[in-house]
């Protein structure tokens, strides 16, 4: 019996097929309890991919303050980290693939949001590195912490 695929998994498979990249779905690994969604071999390396879909109904918009834009992405990162934890070794390259099925709170097409979820909230630093005082002529984009 073929396991059912999410919409994100179906699209990822179409992409792999379009690139001529063979894959295995939910391959079992001896001594591992969790199965990443996809295994491919690339340049003699084993690459593992886990595909996470954001549903339209996940955490609907609510009245009140603007929702924290990183939280939904960080939830998916945390789930993937848990799945990949037992694969932490030099033989595996582990990657997360995210797909948004229409949730307006998930901004995957905004690099500052996705990178901010990974590396820490996106922000601006305008301090003089020598004096520590404000110097707006030195303003630069940076990541401010709390990333995954």
- The pLDDT score that the predictor gives to residue 3 is 66
Which has more confidence, 39 or 135?
A: 39
Instruction: Indicate the number of domains in the chain.
Output: 2
> 3-state DSSP: the chain helix, strand, coil percent, rounded to 5?
30, 25, 50
- According to DSSP, the β-strands at 38-42 and 45-54 are antiparallel
Cα(74)–Cα(118) distance, rounded to whole angstroms?
A: 7
pLDDT exceeds 50 at position 54: yes
78 occurs within a structural domain: yes
Question: Is 78 in contact with 72 (CB distance < 8 Å)?
Answer: no
C-alpha distances out from residue 32 to 27, 85, 88, Å: 10, 10, 11
Residue 17, token pair as written in the block: 């097929």
Residue 76, token pair as written in the block: 């998916």
For the chain, the straight-line distance linking the first and the last C-alpha, in angstroms and rounded, comes to: 36
CATH of the domain at 73: 3.40.960
Identify the domain boundary among 76, 92, 107.
107
Query: Does residue 76 sit in the same domain as residue 142?
Result: no
Cα(108)–Cα(100) distance, rounded to whole angstroms?
A: 7
pLDDT exceeds 50 at position 64: no
Residues 6+ apart with CB under 8 A from 26: 3, 35, 36, 37
2 occurs within a structural domain: no
Residue 27, token pair as written in the block: 């391959």
Q: Which domain holds residue 31?
A: 7-107
Q: How many CA atoms lie within 13 A of 115 on its CB side?
A: 9
Query: Does residue 121 sit in the same domain as residue 70?
Result: no
- Of 28-37, 57-66, 84-93, which gets the smallest average pLDDT? 57-66
pLDDT in tens, 138-148: 787 877 777 66
Query: Does residue 118 sit in the same domain as residue 86?
Result: no
pLDDT exceeds 80 at position 134: yes
């Amino acid at each position: 019996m073929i396991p059912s695929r999410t919409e994100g998994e179906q699209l990822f498979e179409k992409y792999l097929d379009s690139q001529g990249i063979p894959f295995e779905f939910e391959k079992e690994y001896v001594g591992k309890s969790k199965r990443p969604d996809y295994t491919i071999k690339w340049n003699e390396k084993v690459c593992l991919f886990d595909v996470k879909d954001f549903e339209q109904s996940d955490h609907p918009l609510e009245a009140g303050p603007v929702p924290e834009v990183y939280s939904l992405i960080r939830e998916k990162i945390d789930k993937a980290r848990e799945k990949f934890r037992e694969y932490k070794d030099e033989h595996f390259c582990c990657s997360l693939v995210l797909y948004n099925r229409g949730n307006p709170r998930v901004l995957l097409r905004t690099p500052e949001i996705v990178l901010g979820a990974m590396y820490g909230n996106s922000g601006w630093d305008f301090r003089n590195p020598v004096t520590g005082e404000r110097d707006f002529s030195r303003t630069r984009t940076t990541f401010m912490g709390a990333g995954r």
